[in-house]
Amino acid sequence: MMSRSKTQHKAGVNAVLVAVVVLVLAGSLGCAVEGSRRPRNTATGEAHGDNWAVIVSTSMYWYNYRHTSNALVFYHTVKRLGIPDSNILLFLGEDHACNPRNRRPASIYSSAALQPSTAVYDEEIEVDFRGTEVTADTFIRVMTGRVSAKLPASKQLRSGPDSNIFVFMTGHGGVDFLKFRDTHVISGAELGDMFYTMHEKRRYKQVLFILETCHSESMLEHIRSPNILSIGSSSKHEDSYSRSSSPELGVMMVDEFTGASMPFLSQLTTQSRATAADYFAHVRRSRLTSHPVIRATTFPRSPAKVLLTDFLASTPVIWPLDDEIQQHLPTLALTTA
């Protein structure tokens, strides 16, 4: 017969062993749960895997404040609708929030009202590429996966053949080109080749591409790869225009296309049934100075059958950790004798 002290010691050892097993199992299950957090859109009938967003402002200089604002409007939209920062790549060619000419330091607004409701810059923003990092070469390499092995995973587009990708680009451009920080350009041919490479490397299932720049249609005409739906803020021979001037900051706050998009985007939820055609019709009704265009020549469905939430929203699939522990945890009996 064991003494009382030995019995207590054995019970204590068993309790410690069970605790260790629980922690180890919970840790392994925790990894499984985390790995299953692939943003999937369960609100639509179009089956696909994870969602990604690539949002790019290509401009530098204080007077291009509006381009950063444009990008951040779409950044906040996809983030609000469930796409996590781990699946968002944000390129900002200029740090307007911390520009010495900014009379509202660490702030960016989408309206001349400069109210909290129109603030689009906050401490939770994760900028992946900023300033001189924003080049045409870097953008193309990230999109096609031709990056250095030293580039952090958080700065890589880790998409695959089941991924839907939303791409928004804004900046200054002309016929068949978009400028990057006034020092580089991406041509229409390079843009088309980039998407072709992505298709050949099976880096997407479908793409929604929105380009807000002058003569944007001239760039979209070069995109011939399958399953890409494109929207441009202007026709081939038109400029795009800005709106909402701030006397305090001395800059335009947002471009017309993004400004017209904001009321529509703000109404979206993860369960919304609004289509790309609905969105485009809303923008066209807004009577912009330019004439937005939509191209679905390589897309398998009509824009009227493409839900915006297939690209702008995601619903994480999460396993209940407690249920998983109960399912996998072996029955362990504690003995006191």
d(CA 66, CA 50) in angstroms, rounded, equals 30
Is pLDDT above 90 for 306?
yes
pLDDT at 330 over 90: no
pLDDT band at 214 (very low <50, low <70, confident <90, very high): very high
269 Cβ contact list (under 8 Å, min separation 6):
81, 313
Confidence of residue 180 (pLDDT cuts 50, 70, 90): very high
Summarised one tens digit per residue, pLDDT across range 83-109 is 999 999 999 999 999 999 999 999 999
pLDDT on residue 158: 97
In this predicted model, which residue has the larger pLDDT, 55 or 324?
A: 55
Give the strand pairing for 184-187 and 177-180: antiparallel
Q: What is the mean pLDDT of the chain?
A: 87
Catalytic annotation, residues: 172, 214
Token pair in block for residue 185:
């350009």
Domains and CATH numbers, the chain: 1-36+318-337 (no CATH), 43-316 (3.40.50.1460)
pLDDT given at position 269: 97
Q: Which residues have C-beta within 8 Å of that of residue 295, sequence separation ≥ 6?
A: 217, 220, 221, 223, 229, 230, 231, 232
Over the stretch 37-46, which tens digit does the pLDDT of each residue have?
444 444 445 6
Q: Tell me what percent of the residues of the chain surpass a pLDDT of 70.
A: 79
Residues of the chain above pLDDT 90, percent = 77
The pLDDT value recorded for residue 48 is 76
Within the chain, strands assigned E span: 39-40, 51-57, 88-92, 129-130, 164-170, 173-174, 177-180, 184-187, 206-212, 228-232, 242-246, 251-255, 293-295, 315-316
